[in-house]
Amino acid sequence: MNDSKIIYEYSIIEDETFNKYILEYKELQKYFKLDFKGLKTQQYCGVLNIDGEDIYLLPKITKDDEKNLDIFMYMLMFSYDIKLENEDIASCKNEKHNILEVFIQLFAQGLFKEFKSGVYKEYVTEEENRTALHGKYLINENLKYNFVKNKIYCVYDEFSENNLLNQFFLYAIKTLGKYTKNKKLLKQCELVLDEVEYKQFDIKHLNMHFSRLNKRFQSSFEFAILLLNKSIPLFSQDKKSFAFLFDMNVLFENFIGKIYEDIDPSTALQVEKNFGNLKLKPDIITSNMIIDTKYKKVKTKKELSPADKYQMFVYGTNFGAKKTMLLYPQHIARVKEDLKLGKDDKVIELKMRSIDLDFEGGYDEFLQVIRKRLEMIC
């Protein structure tokens, strides 16, 4: 990351070339905000590659660029179960490797490792003209397609590599190859799937079934979906640019939720329930509290919106929880406020708390410290 540009969340973009580029591409405009002060970043963080130049959009957690990238990476890794070695994390700081580059290499490593244990095969129904009967003879298709007697139209089941899962992996390999300079490992994976038919996929409507026979490929599948979902191609003529951005609202919620699952095994995340015509889905439900994460900058209860207070009162009342908490990242000052919502026997306690994400050290130490800080907040 030595010579890469860094722009922080919620800041004015002063680079005129970057401004022009964003305004040119509609795919990017939803990640930024244009007001009377100019074009501003929002809560989306990650990496933009514009004509080969990396631009990092980072959360403003500390005053140190490297630490902000580290913490952002650690949150991504833990939230999405991404296993990175220390050298992989370090390479993200190298100007030759952006976040997406490292993650693609990691995906290729994991997939190739599973391929070495054997390519997944399953019975696939095939239909084709053959010179000899194989499987079931299809009379109507034979009359339709065969005008000579030396062919027989058959349908049969074949134990094949050419199945939906491998077709998806081939699609992912070819697509992700557009965003990485080092294609060696991806090409090795592609060679393994030499007999698999290439198809395009709409990943938003893809429903893949996993059983004990292909379960070992599930993490590679989910990793590929993550990368494909977050990769926004911005191809223009001979130039290739892309964006790889995460909504910090979602990332903060996922990260805190998973930490709480470690702290309290009874923790439930994103539980949706209907109360008459009212549908509620709190972020986190622990054994004794309902917690909602808010990726906002707040200092005191004066900045607490009426909508947030009402939301927590409704959660507590309907889920039967007397204690609730709004949890924010600690930006400027530590937030510690206690409120009571409602009255008499319908009082709901509301805590406003912030979690300090600043840290010195490695990934494992980071998780341990954040876990301890959350335990102290509880």
Q: Which of 307, 334, 329, 281 lies closest to 43 in space, CA to CA?
A: 329
Q: 197 in helix, strand or coil?
A: coil
- Say yes or no to pLDDT of 286 above 90: yes
CB 57 within 8 A of CB 9: yes
User: For residue 168, what pLDDT is reported?
Assistant: 96
Q: Are strands 53-58 and 5-8 parallel, antiparallel or unpaired?
A: parallel
Whether the full predicted model's pTM is greater than 0.85, yes or no, is no
| Euclidean distance between CA atoms 51 and 63, whole angstroms | 28
| Euclidean distance between CA atoms 108 and 224, whole angstroms | 9
- Residues shown for the chain: 378
CA 63 to chain centre: 26
User: For residue 378, what pLDDT is reported?
Assistant: 67
CB 155 within 8 A of CB 135: yes
User: For residue 329, what pLDDT is reported?
Assistant: 93
Residues 6+ apart with CB under 8 A from 62: 68, 71, 358
pLDDT tens across 310-366, in order? 999 999 999 999 999 999 998 767 889 999 998 877 899 999 999 999 988 888 899
| Euclidean distance between CA atoms 190 and 108, whole angstroms | 10
pLDDT tens across 31-70, in order? 999 888 889 999 999 988 887 788 899 998 988 888 898 8
